[in-house]
Structure 1
């Protein structure tokens, strides 16, 4: 595995990227790889490590390259539209230089969790208009598919708790209700959450999936019955240890959900159907 850290994007909207690239298989000719552009959550206050490198490694194990993006946070308000313009610059970078990065420009999966899911969903809605704003050819900003885990979709749907917090995200940017901005140009979308998520109501996921379906965008939605917000892989490796909350030793157990842990493999099956990955790998 090769890990590179660099700044890329549009000159007015630079952004830090960590690129994870699988090592080449020695007896194969050079391979083009699908690319995951990864946006961890963290409430626009930080980037959750539980949705960062450990998530990237899951995709690397499937042969994907992964670019983790350090989009704008609330400590430099407002988040929008800068985070969207930063993401546009990242997509453009990898599409324009796909050969140099060893990726397939037609197999880019945008993945976002929680607040990162909000950025990803808005981008999936708005990429043609972002191209207009930035005076760029629209197709250089296109992604091929979208995965959202327990995403923020509408800031009117219960998070954030105060108008002051909301203002640090939106500023004067009005296009922040992702379910109201879906068009037929949205990419195929895989979206999941839990019914009793205590922080980001499952209604976010339901409304976005409904909006996609109304626009005839290919959509797979899973709402698992139980599980707290921020499940990540829903396995012990991403569950909080006892030392995180000594007064509540059972706290981390809630983040181990064998049923929810199946989301990653279900997503891979969805991608396999969408992209015919067996053919993709074999015909290189």
Structure 2
């Protein structure tokens, strides 16, 4: 495996991606093109949680997937959106421009988003698959399309009371475009399959978020798999010592750690890995 950092640019705006490329295996006797996952970590749009970056990338590596981490736009003087969507579109375009020597299966690009990063992925799954919205948010300048998405304790609807974000000021800092506040309403018949997981006791992102997205997927008759675990705090990642914050045992939850295996089983069922 080879780890790299690359700087990409959109409209004079630079952003960083971290990539984890699998090596070819000589024992196979022939080259293999691997699927690739693009990871959008959480952090409340104020930072990128490193607990949801390299540990997640390496786990996907272990299941035969290249991995890329997108360090998307955060809250500052300008809103997060629509630039964050364009950054994700640029990353997919960048993947499609990679040489054949990278051995990427460009028909199997998977998006994975956690918490705030889940909002970006959830919104992208609606906008990038709708011709009019793709043009409206200037995603039509980029080539390529994702094949599926994985959402972990995602922010879906920013208007849910008692859930992140807590007030209109933060919502406006993320985006004044109210059409982006409810990602479930962006879904359409061309949106891609989704795997979603969350815990019922999530104290930051109310569980109704994931439920609304899954329900809309069902209404559109789109492939979706949903796992609601009975307990666990927000931001568990794997719920193991790998991603536990030092001295904080509340980040341990062996049962929810099974989500990654469930997600990979789902990807195999969807013929997106293996």
Same fold (TM over 0.5): yes
Higher mean C-alpha deviation, range 232-241 or range 143-152: 232-241
The reply to whether residue 143 of structure 1 matches residue 146 of structure 2 is yes
What residue in structure 1 maps to residue 124 of structure 2? 123
Which of these residues, 203, 210, 214, is aligned with residue 209 of structure 1?
214
* Secondary structure of the structure 2 residue equivalent to 1:212: helix
Report the Cα offset of residue 174 of structure 1: 3.0
TM-score using structure 1 length: 0.89
2: CA distance between counterparts of 1:45 and 1:74?
6
1: CA distance between counterparts of 2:154 and 2:135?
26
Higher mean C-alpha deviation, range 101-110 or range 173-182: 173-182
Deviation track 1:56-105 (CA, whole Å, cap 9, x = no partner) reads 11001111111100110002430011100111111112124362532111
What residue in structure 2 maps to residue 231 of structure 1? 236
* Stretches of structure 1 lacking an aligned partner (at least 5 in a row): 243-251, 279-284
Report the Cα offset of residue 176 of structure 1: 2.6
CA contact (8 A) 1:9 1:90 kept: no
Structure 2 CA distance for partners of 1:76 and 1:2, relative to 1, 3 Å = farther
Where in structure 2 are the equivalents of 1:181-220 lying within 5 Å? Answer: 181-220=186-225
* Secondary structure of the structure 1 residue equivalent to 2:126: helix
What residue in structure 2 maps to residue 246 of structure 1? none
Higher mean C-alpha deviation, range 230-239 or range 95-104: 95-104
What residue in structure 1 maps to residue 90 of structure 2? 89
Deviation track 1:165-216 (CA, whole Å, cap 9, x = no partner) reads 1111013463231011111111100000000100000000000000011011
CA contact (8 A) 1:33 1:103 kept: yes
Which of these residues, 250, 255, 271, is aligned with residue 254 of structure 1?
250
Which of these residues, 171, 176, 182, is aligned with residue 171 of structure 1?
176
The reply to whether residue 37 of structure 1 matches residue 38 of structure 2 is yes
Structure 2 CA distance for partners of 1:173 and 1:276, relative to 1, 3 Å = closer
CA contact (8 A) 1:77 1:171 kept: no
CA contact (8 A) 1:98 1:104 kept: no
CA contact (8 A) 2:89 2:139 kept: no
Runs of 4+ in 1 over 6 A off after TM superposition: none
The reply to whether residue 263 of structure 1 matches residue 256 of structure 2 is no
1: CA distance between counterparts of 2:133 and 2:110?
18
What residue in structure 1 maps to residue 21 of structure 2? 21
TM-score using structure 2 length: 0.92
The reply to whether residue 64 of structure 1 matches residue 72 of structure 2 is no
CA contact (8 A) 1:40 1:113 kept: yes
How large is the RMSD of aligned CA atoms in angstroms? 1.8
Structure 2 CA distance for partners of 1:214 and 1:275, relative to 1, 3 Å = same
1: CA distance between counterparts of 2:77 and 2:33?
36
